[in-house]
Amino acid sequence: MSFWAKLKNTLVMFMQGRHGADQLGMFTLIAGLVLSLLASFTGIGLLSLLGLALYVWTLFRMFSRNHEARMKENQKYVALTSGAATKVRQFIKRQKNRKEYKYFRCPKCKVLLRLKRGCGEKEITCVRCGHQFKQKA
């Protein structure tokens, strides 16, 4: 067995039963990197300390054997950030298609809808709540 195969085998054995990387882990790793870079540019020692604390927390979570607690933390993080990620994705898509479609919200439930530009006034039925209203495009 080569040196690299032995090293890989040892690492696999070490990581068995441990939590590993997840979305929260990637976020804390990147946030720690950003804080460390900011600290090196600005010379503020506190940022460096915060970055180091995030690295330590990331490693603690990756090597933790308490899957249940780490999964709960990650689920909270995903629940907090998924709404924001969806809004950013929708905004980018709207900006890309703004010349082709007119975007508007349902007056009743506020869901985002769209109409092809230049089709005139249409009777709209909301896909979520079924509310009917007229909309120009």
Distance in angstroms (rounded) separating the CA atoms of residues 99 and 60: 49
The answer to whether the beta carbons of residues 137 and 118 sit under 8 Å apart is: yes
- Residue 78 vs 111, nearer CB to Zn ion: 111
Q: In angstroms, what is the minimal distance from the CB of 124 to Zn ion?
A: 9
- Tallying the residues shown for the chain, one arrives at 137
Give backbone dihedrals phi and psi of 42, rounded to 5 degrees, phi first: -95, -20
Residue span 106-135 as binding mask against Zn ion, x where in contact by CB under 5 A, dash where not: x-xx----------------x-xx-x----
105 binds Zn ion (CB under 5 A): no
> Which residues lie near Zn ion (CB under 5 A)?
106, 108-109, 126, 128-129, 131
